Structure 1
């Protein structure tokens, strides 16, 4: 897996299939793996959030999730084969865990959403072992949650909490979690539980998934996406100016 660096952010150039295979091999070898996906918003926030930047840099696998980052990389001469969407990778890793008998723990979202997610994925993957689950409102006693995860016997942990909380929580407790693999999955549990609808495939491929989120939650999302998208465009423009013409596409 080739690692590059764009906008002071390390990224791994890989397909979803390659990522699942690598995770499987590392988990079966009992090699701890801290995973993260990066998108436009995360790259922008890393520019001024040193704690988030450190948490991302500590990861063993850093997938590119977000067509804006994919397009920017290609513009700057880096061949990125595809976007590795966190929600798709979550499904693929659950299928792998079910096949290999690897227990999972689900952490995050509201009590109702995480319970619904646990029930749905257990039905979707009949051999999946859900070792435990817990909602994402536990900040008054993080240590107790870490102990619960450790005691569950889970091998894979999925954390559905907003950024930068999830990245920093994972990095802060990585040595005490007792799992072999941990991944932040953002709002994935909301999608699985049916609380939030995912954009149609054509919008995902066109890089318009963010617009679909804005349409669903305009009051909460429009300012966030407008700000981060404009800031990212500025980063790309500066990078293009610094890159020799022969390297850009």
Structure 2
């Protein structure tokens, strides 16, 4: 049996692969080389779990994905609290950087979709400086309307990209992938959320010590308090509520 269909757990009504970064990268590269499937990959954090609880289209899009990694220490802790063996967090920003490096080393062509045009341009410029051999298939900003989706999907298909990176917020990125992954015929597609902002320098990433104790969200809140306070207050409260509910449902099933 394909390990991607076997080695997963189920929690919060979502399929989740408790893999390491090394296992994830190895599987992705093997698929890009063989092009067996148009692989759809997602990373989930507490916010995505909360959104998926309320949005059945998002939940279905995640569960339709081929590989779902855990991005977020609070989710790692929560799953361990529920009794699952979780080896580590696979941070979306780091996975993104590792995959871009892989593209440069193996001449895979990436396509970047997301963020404001200026942010997108700055990120691409930084990638070119760091990886001079990087052969970019194309790019498009993330501020498009629903009517423009098909045109963007057409552009990605024509680009013959090997990997597609989408730096757009949930649930827009997940729904786009669920709708167009097979049509675009890209070996590997992944949603990386706010990683474009981080890697362009628009926003700073939390210090390592804050990442390790699950406070990366708080660091982001400090950078944009007016925009983020309500989101994090509601999201974190609901995530804790769903965790307790999940814990009791697990106990009842024993």
Q: How does 1:49-88 map to 2 (within 5 A)?
A: 49-88=55-94
Partner of 2:132: 126
Partner of 1:170: 177
TM-score by length of 2: 0.93
Structure 2: gaps of 5 or more residues: none
Structure with more helix by fraction: 2
Change (3 A) 1:126 1:237: same
Q: Deviations over 1:133-181 (max 9, x none)?
A: 1111222311211111111121100011111000001111112212111
Partner of 2:196: 189
Does 2:141 match 1:135? yes
Partner of 2:154: 147
Q: How many corresponding residue pairs?
A: 246
Q: Deviations over 1:69-122 (max 9, x none)?
A: 100111111110111110000001111111111000001101111111111112
Q: Deviations over 1:6-30 (max 9, x none)?
A: 1111100101111011000011110
Structure 1: gaps of 5 or more residues: none
TM-score by length of 1: 0.95
Following TM superposition, the consecutive aligned residue runs of length 4 or more in structure 1 with deviations greater than 3 angstroms are 242-245
The CA distance in 1 between the partners of 2:249 and 2:170, in whole Å, is: 30
Does 2:247 match 1:235? no
Q: Deviations over 1:215-236 (max 9, x none)?
A: 0000111111111111111111
Partner of 1:11: 16
Q: How does 1:202-217 map to 2 (within 5 A)?
A: 202-217=209-224
The CA distance in 2 between the partners of 1:50 and 1:214, in whole Å, is: 27
Deviation of residue 39 (structure 1)?
Answer: 0.6
Partner of 2:43: 37
The CA distance in 2 between the partners of 1:243 and 1:136, in whole Å, is: 39
Partner of 2:32: 27
Which region of structure 1 is more displaced relative to structure 2, 40-49 or 135-144?
135-144
Q: CA RMSD in A?
A: 1.4
